[in-house]
Amino acid sequence: MNRRVAIAGVALSDVGRVDDKNAYELMGQASRRALADAGLRPDQVDGLGSTSQGTLPPTDVAEYLGIRPRWIDSTSVGGASWEVMLSHAADAISAGHADVVLLTYGSTARADLRKGLRTANINWGSRGPLQWEAPYGHTLISKYAMAARRHMHQYGTTIEQLAEVAVSARYNAQDNPEAFYRDPITIDDVLSGPMIADPFTKLHCCIRSDGGAAVVLVAEDRVADLRSDPVWFLGAGEATSHMLTSQWEDMTVGPASITGPLAFQRAGLTPADVDVAEIYDAFTYMLLLTMEDLGFCEKGEGGAFVEKGNLRLGGALPTNTDGGGLSACHPGQRGLFLIVEAAKQLRGESGPRQVPAAKVACVSGTGGWFCSSGTVLLGSERP
Task: Give, rounded to a whole angstrom, the gap between the first and last alpha carbons of the chain.
Answer: 16
Within a domain: 123: no
- Whole-structure pTM value: 0.97
Residue 222: how many CB atoms within 10 A of its CB? Answer: 21
Within a domain: 181: no
Q: What is the number of structural domains in the chain?
A: 1
- Residue pLDDT, tens place only, 41-89: 999 999 999 998 888 999 999 999 999 999 999 999 999 999 999 999 9
- Residue pLDDT, tens place only, 153-206: 999 999 999 999 999 999 999 999 999 999 999 999 999 999 999 999 999 999
What does the pLDDT read at residue 139?
87
Q: Is the pLDDT of residue 286 over 90?
A: yes
Within a domain: 196: no
Q: Is the pLDDT of residue 124 over 80?
A: no
Measured CA distances, 316 to 32, 152, 257, 335 (Å): 36, 24, 21, 23
Q: Structural domain of residue 210, as residue ranges?
A: 5-115+206-379
Within a domain: 140: no
pLDDT-derived band of residue 137, with 50, 70 and 90 as boundaries?
A: confident
The angle, 0 to 180 degrees and rounded to 10, between the axes of the packed helices 284-294 and 159-173 is 90
What does the pLDDT read at residue 52?
86
What does the pLDDT read at residue 61?
96
Q: Is the pLDDT of residue 116 over 90?
A: no
Distance between CA atoms of residues 94 and 83, nearest Å: 16
Within a domain: 92: yes
State yes or no: cis peptide before 255, omega within 30 of 0: no
What does the pLDDT read at residue 54?
81
Within a domain: 184: no
What does the pLDDT read at residue 126?
83
Distance between CA atoms of residues 151 and 251, nearest Å: 7
Report the mean per-residue pLDDT for the chain. 96
SS3 53: coil
> Residue 22 corresponds to which amino acid?
N
Q: Is the pLDDT of residue 362 over 80?
A: yes
Distance between CA atoms of residues 361 and 4, nearest Å: 17
Within a domain: 199: no
Within a domain: 325: yes
CATH number for position 284: 3.40.47.10
Closest by CA position to 213, among listed 5, 33, 7, 8 = 33
